[in-house]
Amino acid sequence: MAVTEAERALEAAYRTEKRRVLATLIRLLGGFDAAEEALHEAFAAAAQRWPREGVPQNPYAWLVSAGRFRTIDRWRRETRHAAALPDLLALAEPFDEPAMPEAIADDELRLIFTCCHPALPPDQRIALTLREVGGLTTEEIARAYFATPPTIAQRIVRAKARIRDEAIPYEVPGRADLVERLESVLRVIYLVFSEGYAATGGPALTRADLCAEAIRLARLVAELTGEAEARGLLALMLINEARRPSRTDAAGDLVLLEAQDRTLWNRAMIAEAGEMIGSAFARRGVGPYTLQAAIAAMHAEAPDFAGTDWQAIVSLYDVLLRVDPSPVAALNRAAAIGMRDGPQAGLAAVDAVAAGGGLEAYHLSHAARADFLRRLGRTVEARTAYRKALALVRQDAERRFLERRLSALEDQ
């Protein structure tokens, strides 16, 4: 096998299997630190052996076995683990990739519920799960939370220590405890998908691997719990994923909703999501994710951008803001008002939201204001707003889009 072929296979395994391998190693080795070290050793071994021996038929099982056995060998050599030899012998039993006929058997699902244990503060739960399950870097998590990387790193370290010190079990909770942890679990899955759908930084606007992983995990949670909001979150992600291929052009540049090729949208995903949303509304099981899914469905089901029912979208945002108020939802409502009532009304709505605080460091707030100013012909003010947005944006495709808008205004 050519080295380049092995390298491509290793890169693909790292991209698609890393999170599942880590989750299984945590279960097998009993802790985050040991599993993370085993993960690095497994990929190091693969980098050495795959070019010589060929890529294994099941990279996931190979990596799990390599990481586990290297860890066991190291523990055996360390005298401080001498008392654990019986346990090590049990760990050394031959490993077969587990059959997973039910959602509850999924290692990543177990890991999510462990990371979202109520003994952990909410900020630690989300940071830890995004890092360990979502595979996001501390920098990516920090940008998503408007925090510094050292702050996020500290949250992750503290969360791991608490799981270890309090012996929090690596398991999906029983029914009695499930609902208590579901909100954090759904929030984490939502944030993993959001990073895939609109990356906070880097060269690509979207990350298909994160979107696919979040949808897979959302399906597992929805099947396990049967909760309406779990299905609402899945519906929201399916609609957004259905539209993702049209969000960038061949050069990787951002394409706004009004200019997207709707023939590229996955209508099967949209239809599946629509059934889930209808079921939730019929059962009156409507929460923030279901409401966001309903808003996304209004966009997806419109025949074209001009045919969008902006009145219905504004009304749904009104309900969302009562159920789950947030500055970002208020900003989205303001943008919808602008589409319904014109740029002057939209600008007034955006300014009212900005006056409430919480969005000064959010580049899309300044971009929305800039767009309404541009449409009103207030060129000087629009340039200023675009420059503010550019100073805050971290994503390359979004930066290029804002630069093009600014450049067009500077030519006027």
CA angle 21, 243, 109 (to 5 degrees): 25
Tens of pLDDT, residues 329-362: 999 999 999 999 999 999 999 999 999 988 999 9
Whole domain around residue 156: which residue ranges?
Answer: 105-168+177-225
* DSSP summary character for residue 254: B
Which amino acid, residue 372?
Answer: F
Residues 109 and 215 in one domain: yes
Lowest mean pLDDT among 44-53, 72-81, 228-237: 72-81
Residues 81 and 154 in one domain: no
Residues 140 and 218 in one domain: yes
- Asked whether residue 292 is assigned to any structural domain, the reply reads no
Dist. CA 112–CA 217, nearest whole Å = 9
Residues 140 and 214 in one domain: yes
Instruction: Please check whether residue 275 is in contact with residue 228, taking contact to mean a CB–CB distance below 8 angstroms.
Output: no
Could you identify the residue written with the tokens 């802790």? Answer: 31
Can you give the pLDDT at residue 2?
53
The percentage of residues in the chain with a pLDDT greater than 90, rounded to a whole number, is 49
Dist. CA 269–CA 141, nearest whole Å = 28
Can you give the pLDDT at residue 18?
87
Length of the chain: 412
Nearest to 410 by CA among 379, 388, 381, 385: 379
- Asked whether residue 370 is assigned to any structural domain, the reply reads no
What confidence tier does 106 reach under pLDDT thresholds 50, 70, 90? confident
The answer to whether the pTM exceeds 0.85 is no
Nearest to 178 by CA among 230, 253, 122, 241: 230
- Euclidean distance between the first and the last CA atom of the chain, given in angstroms as a whole number: 58
Mean pLDDT of 281-297: 89
What is the sign of the dihedral through the CA atoms of 280, 285, 287 and 289? negative
Instruction: Please check whether residue 184 is in contact with residue 192, taking contact to mean a CB–CB distance below 8 angstroms.
Output: no
Could you identify the residue written with the tokens 């989205």? Answer: 332
Tens of pLDDT, residues 25-45: 988 888 888 899 999 999 999
Point out the domain boundary residue: 64, 92, 120: 92
Instruction: Please check whether residue 188 is in contact with residue 130, taking contact to mean a CB–CB distance below 8 angstroms.
Output: yes
Residues 192 and 113 in one domain: yes
